[in-house]
Structure 1
Amino acid sequence: MVRLSAPVLAALGLFANKAFGALEVNLDDPESIKKAAAQVAEDLLTFYHGDEPGWVPGILPGPPPDGDYYWWQGGAMWGTLLDYRHNTGDTQYDDMITTAMLHQAGDDRDYLPSNWSASMGNDDQAFWALSAMLATEIGYTDPPEDQPQWAALAQAVFHEQTSEDRRVPSGRCKWGLRWQVYSTNNGYDYINTIANACYFNIGSRLARYFHNETYAELATKTWDLIDRLGYISDKWDVYDGAHLPDCTDLNKAQFSYNAAMLLQGAAFMYNYTDGAQIWKDRVDNLVDRMIEIFFPAPARIAFEPSCEYQQCNSDMESFKGFTHRWMGTTMQVAPHTKEKILPVLKQSTAGAVKQCTGGNNGRFCGFHWTSGVWDGDTGASQQMNVLGALVSLLAPDVPAPLTKDNGGTSKGNVNAGSNEAKLPTFAPITSGDKVGAGIVTALIIAGSLSAFAWMSLD
């Protein structure tokens, strides 16, 4: 398949708008939704070059300043395309997806490649595991036997993140999963919701897939930790996290993907426990509060209240699509939620599609959905968002996630993952290296200042 890159499309801009036009879809017609989703997926992949000579398979261009995207966002994109594949039946990207996800698995088959250690967060590693877990659950084509298997990759990440070297050893935050994997990374002292929510989510899904109570117990232990630290309020607001030593400086910024990650995991626990009331209550309360906060009345269009009025960074610009997708899965494993969730997702998707009138083919999407007009901003995150929104509407009518006992073929490995996170070793440092390191350090510090600024929001 020949794909035109964004720069090439720009060169064709004089006539592209006349030839194509805005993204059009009838949200009451599944076939129309699939057709629109195919167009959005095609446009999304204009930002990916990993299948071209000289580029690295699996990742989007970056990280800054070399491009807009961090390593984890590649993993998130493959998860989005796997949901697209499952919900539409379009398999044309299978070779690309498989190549990408296996290439980034790393030497230890645990999504911890050493060349990304300088910015490796537990949540970054987990996002690739989430995509591997999704591949497991949708019955995606298994890799050759000599290659890493999807279920085993998810297990490897979960097992490593269970180990003590990733966690707080004592005090009020005991057993909290740190944001960063390595102690040399900024943010190692931040115990944030997304890292712990990812761990909870993967654990709940492994419990259901393998029907394994140990995974369920670890998932429940993590929910209890998040709740005990006050990251979930009495009103079911989900906050971003807090710092060591005691996790009391609560960052009350609310981002939709934190709540959505917890919601999807809770829905899997509800399903695994055959509808236990405690998990039903958690699912229902999260759904109600998420709709109120992230799909505000009367429009019910996805909105990020903690940054949208200011400037969402490239990470935050991808949250709406995740939220749509994970609410879509929630309807599959906790079907009673469909009555509340589906109408909201439909209204939100209508708002999303309405502003897909940009770029040089006239159908690229922006980030601000509530305005109804394209905001002039394009990127992989914006395309992932709208693709996630479209496929979420198809979720109730496709098969629910598989287990090993009802059609799942992906093989697990109880010994997957290493016992500890080891920093990569390097050759002896020369005086020339020190000069270069100083320049790199300055760049990292400059980038960190902007990356960490949002964490101070209250």
Structure 2
Amino acid sequence: MTRLSYSLLAQLVSLAPAALAGLTVDVNDADSVKEAAALVAEDLMSFYTGDQPGEIPGVLPQPDYAFWTGGALWATLLDYRIHTGNTTFDKTILQGLLFQTAEDDDYMPANWTRSMGNDDQSFWALAAILADETGFADPATGEPQWQTLAKNIFDEQSIEERRASKCANSLRWQIFTFNDGYNYISTAANAAYFSLGAQLARTMDNQTAADLASQIYNDIWDLGLIDEDFSVYDGTNVEDDCDEINKLQFSYTAALLLEGSAQMYNYTGQNTWRTRVDGLVKRTIEVFFPDGAASDVACEPDNCNTDMTFYKAILHRSLGSTMKLAPYTVEAILSTLKTSTAAAVAQCTGGDNGRMCGSVWTGKFDGTTGAGSQMSVLGALISIMTTEATIAPTNTTDSGSGGNGTTTGDSSGPSSSTSDSATTTGRGSRAAISVGAIMGALLLGTLVLG
């Protein structure tokens, strides 16, 4: 059972009148969570203009948002759709996912060449495979199908030209030699590839994808991008023979590794993957929920760029997915997600409508608004909707290992960097808790959530 720390509780108490006037939620009431999620999703889509005349479908407005955030947007809305049954955004999701497929059906539009990373491409593939898995509308005849799009990207990222042979054959961050970051091994890029391969393995029963996913996990373990405590680091440089590790930790990198490991555990039933899931769950919660609420500790509260405001959406979503793929983890995860979600919603008191969300969740509304902040709070709300579509393991026998059982991997964000500076790494209605209840909990010194 997770308890709010006294300091976070005191902050929520001080915010109670404002929170009751803004967005509210009861994290233990499914209807309340869905009502709050509908409002946050509506506010999130107020930042999207791609369905308007003269605008570019599929991506958030340029130049404010990077290409990868479009893929993350559609994955979040697909997740929202399957958990709530709300099909409001179906037409927009379908248009967005198909408009950016590009000539080779691989989500590499020519106009993004100057900034295209392997991780950027993977986020679109992850959205495509989620569309397939959740039974989203099939593209029309003649359009690329969801599995085809995801597999095309995985196959492209499996070729030698995308790799650095002297760095355990791991994926480079950038795809093209003329881009800054081509000689950086981004853990995020490798973690996204790993997660994609794991999902292809499970959803398509593709053993080749499973083998390649297992291999890339082992590769980044060998490089030291995951340590024995399951800390996941940002990356390393090819020019230094990958001997020096950039030890910044960002939440979405660890999250991608966790979800991929949960996919592999669900697919194989192997104890090796269970060990990795357990280690990543424990360390991810330790590092990124330091005071009960999710926090990207490498950059918060003052140094996160626009890309980094999206990371908590991926963090919460991956922990939620892990509970479905490995149901035994619910006890270790759910109470933490509820505590974090309550804190996230409590600060959604900004904007003209009085319910817009900021990017920092451990205090009152921080004055910032954007698609990343809204997506992260939506991801938090979705993550605690745990009653739908639990997936049973496909195999419960341990058939052996695909690498060191105590390893995990991570990477930098959609904008990795070779610097150790958080400013240069990464791309970068119901009342939930009444004032009286909060005050009563304050007298007891704790507030227990589910």
Offset at 1:401?
Answer: 6.1
In the alignment, what sits opposite 2:256?
261
In the alignment, what sits opposite 2:143?
147
Instruction: Determine if the alignment matches structure 1 residue 315 to structure 2 residue 285.
Output: no
Instruction: Determine if the alignment matches structure 1 residue 209 to structure 2 residue 203.
Output: yes
In the alignment, what sits opposite 1:130?
126
Kept in 2, the 8 Å contact 1:79–1:134? The answer is yes
Determine the C-alpha separation between the residues in 1 that align with 2:222 and 2:312: 27
Kept in 1, the 8 Å contact 2:197–2:212? The answer is yes
Kept in 1, the 8 Å contact 2:305–2:423? The answer is no
Partner-residue secondary structure (3-state), 1:142: coil
Offset at 1:310?
Answer: 3.4
In the alignment, what sits opposite 1:11?
none
- Taking structure 2 as the reference length, the TM-score comes to 0.83
Partner-residue secondary structure (3-state), 1:100: helix
Offset at 1:403?
Answer: 12
Structure 2 residue corresponding to 1:454, chosen from 417, 424, 443: 424
1:143-193 CA-to-partner distances (Å, cap 9, x unmatched) read 112111111111011000001111113x2x031101001001000000010
Structure 2 residue corresponding to 1:158, chosen from 147, 150, 154: 154
Structure 1 residue corresponding to 2:380, chosen from 374, 389, 392: 389
Kept in 1, the 8 Å contact 2:325–2:392? The answer is no
In the alignment, what sits opposite 2:112?
116
Offset at 1:339?
Answer: 0.6
Determine the C-alpha separation between the residues in 2 that align with 1:310 and 1:237: 23
In the alignment, what sits opposite 1:399?
389
Kept in 1, the 8 Å contact 2:172–2:184? The answer is yes
Determine the C-alpha separation between the residues in 1 that align with 2:306 and 2:228: 30
Structure 1 residue corresponding to 2:273, chosen from 279, 294, 319: 279
> What amino acid does structure 2 have at the position aligned with 1:208?
R
Determine the C-alpha separation between the residues in 2 that align with 1:142 and 1:401: 22
Offset at 1:75?
Answer: 1.0
1:410-452 CA-to-partner distances (Å, cap 9, x unmatched) read xxxxxxxxxxxxxxxxxxxxxxxxxxxxxxxxxxxxx999999
Determine the C-alpha separation between the residues in 2 that align with 1:449 and 1:231: 15
In the alignment, what sits opposite 1:305?
297
Offset at 1:392?
Answer: 0.5
Kept in 2, the 8 Å contact 1:182–1:188? The answer is yes
Determine the C-alpha separation between the residues in 1 that align with 2:24 and 2:288: 25
Partner-residue secondary structure (3-state), 2:236: strand
Determine the C-alpha separation between the residues in 2 that align with 1:348 and 1:303: 9
C-alpha distance 451-136 of structure 1, shift in aligned 2 (>3 A):
farther
In the alignment, what sits opposite 2:368?
377
Kept in 2, the 8 Å contact 1:327–1:341? The answer is yes
Determine the C-alpha separation between the residues in 2 that align with 1:140 and 1:402: 21
Instruction: Determine if the alignment matches structure 1 residue 353 to structure 2 residue 345.
Output: yes
1:281-322 CA-to-partner distances (Å, cap 9, x unmatched) read 0000110011110011xx411011110043100111111111
Offset at 1:399?
Answer: 1.2
Kept in 2, the 8 Å contact 1:208–1:403? The answer is no
Counterparts of 1:72-83 in structure 2, within 5 Å, are 72-83=68-79
Partner-residue secondary structure (3-state), 1:454: coil
Counterparts of 1:437-448 in structure 2, within 5 Å, are none
Kept in 2, the 8 Å contact 1:121–1:181? The answer is yes
Kept in 2, the 8 Å contact 1:235–1:289? The answer is yes
C-alpha distance 103-401 of structure 1, shift in aligned 2 (>3 A):
farther
> What amino acid does structure 2 have at the position aligned with 1:79?
A
Counterparts of 1:408-427 in structure 2, within 5 Å, are none
In the alignment, what sits opposite 2:59?
59
Kept in 2, the 8 Å contact 1:110–1:156? The answer is yes
1:301-352 CA-to-partner distances (Å, cap 9, x unmatched) read 1011110043100111111111001111111111111111100000000000
Determine the C-alpha separation between the residues in 2 that align with 1:218 and 1:266: 13
Partner-residue secondary structure (3-state), 1:191: strand
> What amino acid does structure 2 have at the position aligned with 1:455?
T
Kept in 2, the 8 Å contact 1:137–1:403? The answer is no
Structure 1: gaps (5+ residues): 1-17, 405-446
Instruction: Determine if the alignment matches structure 1 residue 35 to structure 2 residue 44.
Output: no
Kept in 1, the 8 Å contact 2:154–2:193? The answer is yes
Determine the C-alpha separation between the residues in 2 that align with 1:239 and 1:21: 40
Offset at 1:34?
Answer: 0.6
Determine the C-alpha separation between the residues in 2 that align with 1:204 and 1:339: 24
User: Quick one: percent identity of the two aligned structures?
Assistant: 51
Determine the C-alpha separation between the residues in 1 that align with 2:30 and 2:343: 17
Counterparts of 1:11-50 in structure 2, within 5 Å, are 21-50=21-50
1:394-417 CA-to-partner distances (Å, cap 9, x unmatched) read 1x211146999xxxxxxxxxxxxx
Determine the C-alpha separation between the residues in 1 that align with 2:115 and 2:96: 20
Partner-residue secondary structure (3-state), 1:140: coil
Runs of 4 or more consecutive aligned structure 1 residues displaced over 2 Å after TM superposition? 400-404, 447-456
Offset at 1:54?
Answer: 0.7
Partner-residue secondary structure (3-state), 1:111: coil
Kept in 2, the 8 Å contact 1:179–1:190? The answer is yes
Determine the C-alpha separation between the residues in 2 that align with 1:193 and 1:80: 22
> What amino acid does structure 1 have at the position aligned with 2:255?
A
Partner-residue secondary structure (3-state), 1:455: coil
RMSD over aligned Cα atoms? 2.2
Offset at 1:249?
Answer: 1.8
Partner-residue secondary structure (3-state), 1:47: coil
Determine the C-alpha separation between the residues in 2 that align with 1:344 and 1:208: 27
Structure 2 residue corresponding to 1:326, chosen from 318, 327, 340: 318
Structure 2: gaps (5+ residues): 1-17, 395-416, 427-450
The structure showing larger relative contact order (alpha-carbon pairs under 8 Å, at least 6 residues apart) is 2
C-alpha distance 272-183 of structure 1, shift in aligned 2 (>3 A):
same
Partner-residue secondary structure (3-state), 1:397: coil
Determine the C-alpha separation between the residues in 2 that align with 1:389 and 1:346: 8
In the alignment, what sits opposite 2:336?
344
- Taking structure 1 as the reference length, the TM-score comes to 0.81
C-alpha distance 451-114 of structure 1, shift in aligned 2 (>3 A):
farther
